[in-house]
Amino acid sequence: MLIGEVARRSGVSTRMLRHYDSLGLVRPTGRTVGGYREYSVEDIRRIFHVESLRTLGLSLRQIARALADPAFEPSTLVSDLIRRTEDRLKRERELLDRLRTVDAAAPAGWEGVLRIVELLHGLNSPSAAHRQQAVLAPTDHPAVPTELLAEALLAEADPNVAGALRWAIARAGDEGVPSLATGLGSADVDVRRRAILALVEIPGDEATSVLANALADADATVRRHAALALGTRGATSAVPTLVDMVVEGANDVEAAEILGGLARNPECADRIMAALVDELAAHQADSAVRIRLIQALAELPELLARDVLRQLSGDDDRAVALVASALSSLSSPFGSAVPRSR
């Protein structure tokens, strides 16, 4: 079969077939009387072998080696191809992400594009100082997408850089909430903790709704940050976690003060009072827990906790009785303001 016919049937151009011939990769076994290349059935089969290996990304040199050596083992070569392909895909995904970031920012001109690219390079710096500078750098250009800042925050381990990113995200209002909410769904607890620290700094109903979902997180740190923020915003859903914090001694002073604020709402006061009294009964043998609960009771409106405090003034545990007696003797419309033990 002549070269033109082979090219037509195989889909390989005559130019490429001549190139294969010059490399010794596929040489036609015959020549016509006029000197034209003539390919045998075996030659055509070899052409298809070459083309098949090319689709895997092998170079012509690698293909020649593979076809020339009957004992050639493909495993090493295939593994190398997998690694190089993964590297290439990673680079292409990074490029695609950069392009999407620029597109999302909808820059009006090249100055805006360059600012985003500059920030991307800065956030990818191995130097924490450079990453922080990239976030805090003043600019007259349009703001970069908050999603980019949120994604950087969720991956940022340095506390100073993370603080700068939280500041930048908070300035943008609720635009970063969806990305941070995604972070709260991560299996990595560190990512969830970074997300919650950013969310508590964002006001508004959207962030509050996400914080409410975080009360069910498996990690106590995430739950506590969410409860403190929600309680400050007047959300009564935080009450059980805030009571747990008092019992556990985790930010108990802050939790107690927030419970006192929530108890000013008559609809929530009895619920908080009942929860604290129940915990007192459940921890009869733990003096430290009971003292923290008494201090939390003292934060409630005076008339609400007065009788319980007076009753505890006669408790068999002397330390508990002394604290209860001291707090019950104070008179304040919103509870006590005595120093707290930790």
pLDDT over threshold 90, residue 180: yes
Mean pLDDT of 101-112: 65
* Span 153-181, average pLDDT: 91
Mean pLDDT for the stretch of residues 221-225: 97
Please indicate, yes or no, if residue 228 is contained in any of the structural domains: no
Using 50, 70 and 90 to split pLDDT, how confident is the model at 106? low
pLDDT tens string 69-103: 777 666 767 787 788 888 878 877 776 776 776 67
149 vs 279, more confident: 279
The number of folded domains in the chain is 3
Cα 258 to Cα 238: distance, rounded to the nearest angstrom = 10
45 and 154 co-located in one domain = no
52 and 153 part of one domain? no
| Residues 201 and 112 grouped into a single domain | yes
Nearest to 225 by CA among 254, 204, 260, 205: 254
Q: b/e map of 270-295 (b: 16 or more CB within 10 Å)?
A: ebbbebbeebbeeeeeeeebbbbbbb
Nearest to 328 by CA among 315, 57, 197, 151: 315
Tell whether 77 is covered by a domain: no
* Structural domain for 242, as ranges: 234-342
Average pLDDT over residues 140-152: 74
Confidence of residue 107 (pLDDT cuts 50, 70, 90): low
Report yes or no on 222 lying in a domain. no
Q: Which of 269, 277, 329 lies closest to 300, judged by CA?
A: 269
User: How far is Cα 342 from Cα 337, in angstroms, rounded to an integer?
Assistant: 15
> What three-state secondary structure class fits 2?
strand
Residues 9 and 48 in one domain: yes
Residue 298 is predicted with a pLDDT of 92
Q: How far apart are CA 152 and CA 130, in angstroms?
A: 14
Instruction: Answer whether residue 320 shows pLDDT above 90.
Output: yes
Whole-prediction pTM: 0.65
Mean pLDDT on 23-48: 87
pLDDT band at 33 (very low <50, low <70, confident <90, very high): confident
Q: Which residue among 217, 249, 264 closes a domain?
A: 217
Range picked from 29-33, 76-80, 91-95, 167-171 for highest mean pLDDT: 167-171
- Domain match, 98 and 150 both: yes
State the chain's mean pLDDT as an integer: 86
Judgement on whether residues 193 and 111 belong to the same structural domain of the protein: yes
pLDDT of residue 340 exceeding 60 = no
**Domain contains 172:** yes
Residue 153 has pLDDT above 90, yes or no: yes
Q: Looking at 17, 39, 72, which one is the last position of a domain?
A: 72
- Whether residue 231 has pLDDT greater than 80: yes
Pair (164, 274) in one structural domain? no
Distances (CA, A) of 312 to 247, 287, 327, 335, 342: 17, 12, 10, 16, 20
Task: For residues 275-289, give the mean pLDDT.
Answer: 94
pLDDT of residue 139: 60
Q: What pLDDT score was predicted for residue 336?
A: 43
- The token duo for 333 is 């419309």
Residue 224 belongs to a domain? no
Pairing status of strand 37-38 against strand 30-31: antiparallel
CATH number of the domain encompassing residue 130: 1.25.10
23 φ, ψ (degrees, to nearest 5) = -85, -10
Whether 102 and 146 share a structural domain: yes
Domain end position, chosen among 52, 72, 92: 72
**Residues 208 and 104 occupy one common structural domain:** yes
- The answer on 203 and 120 residing in a single domain is yes
Mark whether 94 and 209 lie in a shared domain.
Answer: yes
Residue 225, domain member (yes or no): no
Q: Give the mean model confidence (pLDDT) for residues 101-109.
A: 65
> For residue 244, what pLDDT is reported?
96
State the pLDDT at residue 342.
45
Through-space distance between the first and last CA atoms of the chain, rounded to whole angstroms: 93
Tell me: the pLDDT tens digits for 235-271?
Answer: 999 999 999 999 999 999 999 999 999 999 988 999 9
Q: How confident is the model at residue 185, as a pLDDT?
A: 93
d(C-alpha 249, C-alpha 288), whole Å: 9
* Among candidate residues 53, 55, 79, 56, the one with its CA nearest the CA of residue 66: 53
Residues 18 and 109 in one domain: no
Residue 226 is assigned to a structural domain of this protein: no
Closest to 309 measured CA to CA, from 318, 317, 322, 270: 322
Residue 211 has pLDDT above 80, yes or no: yes
